[in-house]
Structure 1
Amino acid sequence: MKYEQLARDIIDKVGGKENVTSVVHCITRLRFKLKDEGKAQTEELKNMDGIVTVMKSGGQYQVVIGNHVPDVYKAVVEIGGFAGQASDQDDNQDTNLFNRFIDIIASIFTPILGVLAATGMIKGFNALFNEIGWLDPSMGTYQILAIVGDSLFYFFPIFLGYTASKKFGGAPFIGIAIGASLVYPTIGPLMETEPLYTLFTGTLFESPVHVTFLGIPVILMNYASSVIPIILAAYFSSKVERGFRKVIPDVVKTFLVPFFTLLVVVPVTFIVIGPIATWASQIIGQITVLVYDLSPIIAGVLIGGGWQVLVIFGLHWGLVPVVINNITTMGSDPVLAMTFAASFAQIGAVLGVWLKTTNQKLKSLSIPAFISGIFGVTEPAIYGITLPKKRPFIISLIAAAIGGAIIGLFGSRIYMIGGLGIFGIPTFIDPDEGMTTAFWAVMVAIVVAFILGFVLTYLFGGVNKELTPLEEGEPINPDGTDDEKNVPKSDENIVSPLQGTVLALCDVADEAFSSGEVGQGVAVEPQDGKLYAPASGTITTLFPTKHAIGMTTDNGVELLIHIGMDTVQLEGKFFTSHVKQGERIEQGQLLTTFDIAQIKGAGYTTVTPIVVTNLGDAKLSLTEAKSVKHGDHLMTVVR
């Protein structure tokens, strides 16, 4: 098995198979639900070959793999014995309602995502071939392709009945039966017969009644392509099924549980769940259109510019039911359309990085990331290229926002769920009017987004500028040179900036520090949350997240003080800075205060390395004390 060792390492680093409640995958990432995320070795996973990064969002522990995630997933499932494992309905009871919603949507739609995109692509290309005259609706080839393209979407309730039932802990084939009932062929002809009477006359919910069930009126709806009714029905079914399993004897459970479940759930779905869910779907669709109509341009800026941020945190799943619902109820959707330029803005930024960077490793990573991005898979570009460099990522958001504004301005819409990247282009072809102005506006939008992402990144992306000294393992050097002025001019005593326990640098749980790549020095595990100046000099680097400070002493010694490991991820929370970059400071002056309890509570250590980053040929004499107070001797730079 090609990915056997990677799969074993992943399972081990997420806390072992006993810590895994369930695992699914999407286009680029494994989505674990762990019993205890604290057991997962996140940093070790991030540093493993074959893993792009690790994200925690929507109640899931997401290991980003890249395009080959299906193969890795298959190996993980086989080795971990996770096959057939349902996402139990009690999972994530300790997470908030929004996270649970995202988790439910992701779990239901992820298994069919590939087939959904594939059938949408076939439908889109069929529309394209018809538009350019290659095929005609009267031709058998066109009709067969139309059948394939429409198959999943028309019978969507059947597919969702399966995945939703698995998610809610019900029997998947009962879910299939419920979904099949909703799209049974005779429903259409029944709706065309003369109604017996009409309910809710004169209201928004006016409905003709064509049939009754045990004398109860049934409001028939067209459930082909619908989403919300079957998901609610599957949830209700899981509860009903569980109740029957408790009271029906084991010897007859096999057929009596589905027998009674279907007898209860299907009529209730037709009488209550289906109509209410359909009305709710129509209202959601209309609200979406109303919000969009208030200002399509602003909507394009916000949705287009924010899409990649939603993707990073896995929150884009929240829009999936809205988009499908819009296509079902209105025949088209403007929401997903406004995100379309984002992937092209991203690959434009990647191209800018590739052409501009002098870092050969970054160049080699940029090529496959660019190719993946062409086909709409942007996670390798985001996590591997633009996000670590920060400025290119921000530029891609700006370019995507401008592309989204263009799409919003011309009212462009998608008419089907299709492929990603360039494969998504046919989804903008209007089935009735063909390639309209709105279609060509999308082409303009993606070209503009791509060019802006490329040009702005190339010119202003700061590609060859060190964002942090730790990213490339280089010493802090504000002058950007390595001449004599950047080495210590004379001996200098450095006092402890903290009160706490002294640790050898090699004992720090971060290879960049423990290996000495960043610089030579010592570490202190602080006992209070106050960081003082270890010498007099100037603040040369003050990180926006306030967790690290670079300074140059009056004698030219360059020091880096890094509070905790990976505390950059706290984004400044629990840290308060009392100085500014460029400020002159005196030994003993208060630099930063931080909340040790909160930092540790968030899962981070507060062990603080204090290192000399420009030692050169000088020697370093370290204290032999096991504990220090701020102001005690810590080390001496000896020229």
Structure 2
Amino acid sequence: MKYEQLAKDIIENVGGKENVNSVVHCITRLRFKLKDESKANTDVLKNMDGVVTVMKSGGQYQVVIGNHVPDVYKDVVEIGGFANQAASDDNESDDNQGAFSKFIDIISSIFTPVLGVLAATGMIKGFNALFVAVGLYPNTSGTYQILNAVGDSLFYFFPIFLGYTAIKKFGGSPFIGMAIGGALVYPTLTQITAGEPLYTLFSGTMFQSPVFIEFLGIPVILMTYSSSVIPIILAAFFASKVESFFRKTIPDVVKTFLVPFLTLLVVVPITFIVIGPIATWAGSLIGAGTIWVYDLSPIIAGAILGAFWQVFVIFGLHWGLIPIAINNLTTQGADPVLAMVFAASFAQIGAVLGVWLKTRDQKIKTLSIPAFISGIFGVTEPAIYGITLPKKRPFIMSCIAAGIGGATLGIFGTKVYMVGGLGIFGIPSNIGPNGLDMAFWGSIISITLAFILGFVLTYLFGMGKNNEGVEPKETEKKKPLEGTVKESEVVVSPLNGQVQPLSTIKDELFASRALGKGIAIEPSEGKLYAPVSGTVSALFPTKHAIGITTDNGAEVLIHVGMDTVQLEGKFFSAHIEKGDQVKQGQLLLEFDIEGIQSAGYLVTTPMIVTNSEQFDVEALDEKRSITASEPVITLNPNSIVETEGNVSPLLS
């Protein structure tokens, strides 16, 4: 278990395993369904080594890990015991989601498990087409046929794979879903359509359909369900309800075989007679509608989708477009949706390169290299969450470059002809029946243009006057420059109560001054006031601890009570947020002393200077009553500031 400790820390800070309904993963993220998201320590997770960031979208609590997320996921599942989570548990929290969030959650849960293999088989098919186009071997060779079989293996039998994931999401038995999908692609039924039809239904309408067979005298409209998406998802949903009904009504002694027996007997015929044809017609209309909108103005469509694709990915909204793209491949043979966003990842890595060359921050330089390499292969979350989005401007520049790249793809009419790999591995997906035509070369031009623009725009305009992507805040401008001596500063009491030396409190970490020098106060009133003026650099989600960085560079931490983090915010109410500017004496938070004590916790409050090594700290060391705003600590300069804008790990 390579990531055992990281897995334990993640589980603990999402509220414990008892707060987890389910967890899955995609290419870079752990996607939790939590019973109560307020119990998760989001700020702690964001600052944890091994975690890129945290996102909340589509009813999911997403912990972004990076390319090695499958390994972390295995340890999370093992430690948390999530592998045996009942499907019904996963659905319990759905009632708290909106309709759109439910839709996004359903789509992502159905498609996420197969994305890796879908991309892999698409890459094989794409490279096979590329090798034929460049004349490496003909499309009649055995090599081509075998590689094409591998490339088509998942997409052709898509209903079987989606039958498994879809019915599992809906709470049914996965193998029943696979059996339904297998029936839909049964080759004998496809061969029947080669003969003469018995008669035709809906003659003279857009739904005109020949009937080749009947089921118990009911006409069956045979469709081609290989590679289809919508029919099997609807059939799986219907099957989950039918199976649930039979499970409740059939005796346990014969349930093992009678439930799937009766479920398949009911669901498969109804799917062929009703669900399949209606879903296929709906899919054709969606596909035709998408192409119609695209044809109105491919340039505008490409610019809009390209510019906002990375925003969609951040919030998980791109899942709403994935089924449309796959449906287009099934019904139209090609898709413009995935084609128009192809340049976005290249714009992103162009921006990362611009940041890497421009920034003076050594940590950002170090992070930029793996983020750039990962982005080449289409995985841009490390670049987005670790580099461009926190700095804002580079992210905006990458979106502008991606929009121009998308418009270029629209100009050349580029489309994808298979679901292939990401990044550079997605290039062969743009090879159509005509081989290496201008639409294909347009994709090369667009990703090159997006990359160059992302780099140039970020380098010239995306880093601001301080070369760090954002304008410096006023407090940052006032920080002493390298080599400047700090000034003396007075820290006042944040509480009314009884002051005591830090060494006397019942917490070894604080008492030993390992975290910094300071004092402790036994409060007589549940109101905490700002001991200094400055910026709120830390506010724990549980509201029990606040960090303030002064304009002079002192970092003051106030920790209300002992082990009060376990109260998860109960009895605390904050009047400020992280990043706020506060004045000395300003009310920061209120807390219920009696409530905290009745829950079994001490309210003794240490106040420490976490960067004490930079000051000569004179702290009040006698036990006596004290009022808020009365001086208790004097900070005298004793060293040179090492770097501009340093923040201690405890407060960062």
Amino acid at match of 2:413: G
Amino acid at match of 1:29: R
Q: Could you list the per-position Cα deviations for residues 164-185 of structure 1 after superposition, in whole angstroms to 9, with x for gaps in the alignment? A: 1111111111111110111111
**Which of the residues 187, 202, 222 maps onto 1:220?**
222
Q: Could you list the per-position Cα deviations for residues 352-373 of structure 1 after superposition, in whole angstroms to 9, with x for gaps in the alignment? A: 2222333332222221111111
- Partner of residue 163, structure 2: 161
Q: Could you list the per-position Cα deviations for residues 61-83 of structure 1 after superposition, in whole angstroms to 9, with x for gaps in the alignment? A: 11111111111212222232222
- Partner of residue 77, structure 1: 77
Amino acid at match of 1:218: V
User: Percent identity among equivalent residues?
Assistant: 62
- Partner of residue 13, structure 2: 13
Cα distance change of structure 1 residues 37 and 127 upon mapping to structure 2, 3 Å threshold:
same
Contact residue 92 and residue 100 of structure 1 kept, 8 A: yes
**Which of the residues 400, 421, 429 maps onto 2:402?**
400
Amino acid at match of 2:418: M
Give the Cα separation in 2 of the matches to 1:299 and 1:438: 16
**Which of the residues 105, 108, 125 maps onto 1:106?**
108
Cα displacement (A) at 1:35:
1.9
- Partner of residue 254, structure 1: 256
Give the Cα separation in 1 of the matches to 2:168 and 2:282: 24
Name the stretch that deviates more: 17-26 or 190-199: 190-199
Match of 1:92, SS? helix
Q: Could you list the per-position Cα deviations for residues 97-155 of structure 1 after superposition, in whole angstroms to 9, with x for gaps in the alignment? A: 11111111111111111110011001101110110001211111101111111111111
Cα distance change of structure 1 residues 612 and 39 upon mapping to structure 2, 3 Å threshold:
closer
Name the stretch that deviates more: 283-292 or 161-170: 283-292
- Partner of residue 462, structure 2: 461
Cα displacement (A) at 1:313:
2.0
Give the Cα separation in 2 of the matches to 1:127 and 1:467: 42
Amino acid at match of 2:26: C
- The 5 A counterparts of 1:291-302 are 291-302=293-304
Give the Cα separation in 2 of the matches to 1:118 and 1:104: 23
Cα displacement (A) at 1:383:
1.5
- Partner of residue 62, structure 1: 62
Contact residue 480 and residue 486 of structure 2 kept, 8 A: no
Amino acid at match of 1:74: K
Gaps of 5+ in 2: 538-545, 560-574, 592-604, 638-652
Match of 1:33, SS? strand
- The 5 A counterparts of 1:40-55 are 40-55=40-55
- Partner of residue 211, structure 1: 213
- Partner of residue 265, structure 1: 267
Contact residue 8 and residue 79 of structure 1 kept, 8 A: yes
Cα displacement (A) at 1:374:
0.8
Q: Could you list the per-position Cα deviations for residues 519-545 of structure 1 after superposition, in whole angstroms to 9, with x for gaps in the alignment? A: 999999x9999x99999xxx9999xxx
Cα distance change of structure 1 residues 403 and 478 upon mapping to structure 2, 3 Å threshold:
farther
Cα displacement (A) at 1:159:
0.5
Give the Cα separation in 1 of the matches to 2:105 and 2:490: 55
Amino acid at match of 1:67: N
Give the Cα separation in 2 of the matches to 1:521 and 1:177: 69
Cα distance change of structure 1 residues 527 and 317 upon mapping to structure 2, 3 Å threshold:
farther
Match of 2:96, SS? coil
Cα displacement (A) at 1:262:
0.7
- Partner of residue 2, structure 1: 2
Give the Cα separation in 1 of the matches to 2:215 and 2:326: 30
Cα distance change of structure 1 residues 30 and 533 upon mapping to structure 2, 3 Å threshold:
closer
Contact residue 556 and residue 609 of structure 2 kept, 8 A: yes
Contact residue 303 and residue 401 of structure 1 kept, 8 A: yes
Give the Cα separation in 1 of the matches to 2:362 and 2:334: 45
Q: Could you list the per-position Cα deviations for residues 578-625 of structure 1 after superposition, in whole angstroms to 9, with x for gaps in the alignment? A: x9x9xxx9999x9x99999xxxxxxxxxx9x99999998787889998
Cα displacement (A) at 1:429:
0.3
- Partner of residue 331, structure 1: 333
Amino acid at match of 2:223: M
Instruction: Output the aligned Cα RMSD.
Output: 4.5
Contact residue 109 and residue 169 of structure 2 kept, 8 A: yes
- Partner of residue 445, structure 2: 444
Contact residue 304 and residue 405 of structure 1 kept, 8 A: yes
Cα distance change of structure 1 residues 500 and 451 upon mapping to structure 2, 3 Å threshold:
farther
Amino acid at match of 2:455: F
Give the Cα separation in 2 of the matches to 1:247 and 1:117: 42
Cα displacement (A) at 1:436:
1.3
- Partner of residue 180, structure 2: 178
Cα distance change of structure 1 residues 391 and 612 upon mapping to structure 2, 3 Å threshold:
farther
TM-score (norm 1): 0.79
Cα distance change of structure 1 residues 548 and 275 upon mapping to structure 2, 3 Å threshold:
farther
Amino acid at match of 1:457: T
Give the Cα separation in 2 of the matches to 1:612 and 1:75: 34
Contact residue 469 and residue 476 of structure 1 kept, 8 A: no
Name the stretch that deviates more: 318-327 or 611-620: 611-620
Give the Cα separation in 1 of the matches to 2:147 and 2:194: 28
Give the Cα separation in 2 of the matches to 1:17 and 1:28: 21
Cα displacement (A) at 1:222:
0.8
Amino acid at match of 2:42: T
Give the Cα separation in 1 of the matches to 2:498 and 2:114: 54
Cα distance change of structure 1 residues 626 and 423 upon mapping to structure 2, 3 Å threshold:
farther
Contact residue 487 and residue 615 of structure 1 kept, 8 A: no
Cα distance change of structure 1 residues 171 and 613 upon mapping to structure 2, 3 Å threshold:
closer
Cα distance change of structure 1 residues 492 and 36 upon mapping to structure 2, 3 Å threshold:
closer
Cα displacement (A) at 1:244:
0.6
Give the Cα separation in 1 of the matches to 2:253 and 2:536: 73
Q: Could you list the per-position Cα deviations for residues 562-585 of structure 1 after superposition, in whole angstroms to 9, with x for gaps in the alignment? A: 999xxxxxxxxx999xx9x9xxx9
TM-score (norm 2): 0.78
Cα displacement (A) at 1:459:
2.7
Cα displacement (A) at 1:87:
4.1
Cα distance change of structure 1 residues 500 and 345 upon mapping to structure 2, 3 Å threshold:
farther
Contact residue 575 and residue 595 of structure 1 kept, 8 A: no
- The 5 A counterparts of 1:332-371 are 332-371=334-373
Cα distance change of structure 1 residues 618 and 73 upon mapping to structure 2, 3 Å threshold:
closer
Contact residue 621 and residue 638 of structure 1 kept, 8 A: no
Q: Could you list the per-position Cα deviations for residues 297-322 of structure 1 after superposition, in whole angstroms to 9, with x for gaps in the alignment? A: 22112211111112122221111101
Cα distance change of structure 1 residues 549 and 361 upon mapping to structure 2, 3 Å threshold:
closer
Cα distance change of structure 1 residues 336 and 483 upon mapping to structure 2, 3 Å threshold:
same
- The 5 A counterparts of 1:384-423 are 384-423=386-425
Q: Could you list the per-position Cα deviations for residues 244-302 of structure 1 after superposition, in whole angstroms to 9, with x for gaps in the alignment? A: 11111111111111111111101111111111111111111122122222222221122
Q: Could you list the per-position Cα deviations for residues 156-209 of structure 1 after superposition, in whole angstroms to 9, with x for gaps in the alignment? A: 001100111111111111111110111111222222332222222222222222
Give the Cα separation in 2 of the matches to 1:148 and 1:38: 46
- The 5 A counterparts of 1:471-510 are 476-478=476-478, 481-482=481-482, 488=487
Match of 2:204, SS? coil
Amino acid at match of 1:173: F
Name the stretch that deviates more: 280-289 or 234-243: 280-289
Give the Cα separation in 2 of the matches to 1:175 and 1:143: 29
Q: Could you list the per-position Cα deviations for residues 413-444 of structure 1 after superposition, in whole angstroms to 9, with x for gaps in the alignment? A: 000000001100000001x2111111111111
Cα distance change of structure 1 residues 54 and 558 upon mapping to structure 2, 3 Å threshold:
closer
Cα displacement (A) at 1:345:
1.0
Cα displacement (A) at 1:11:
2.3
Give the Cα separation in 2 of the matches to 1:256 and 1:367: 58
Gaps of 5+ in 1: 565-573, 597-606
- Partner of residue 123, structure 2: 121
Q: Could you list the per-position Cα deviations for residues 393-430 of structure 1 after superposition, in whole angstroms to 9, with x for gaps in the alignment? A: 22111111111111112211000000001100000001
Amino acid at match of 2:246: F
Give the Cα separation in 2 of the matches to 1:397 and 1:563: 41
Cα displacement (A) at 1:457:
2.1
Amino acid at match of 2:74: K
Cα distance change of structure 1 residues 207 and 15 upon mapping to structure 2, 3 Å threshold:
same
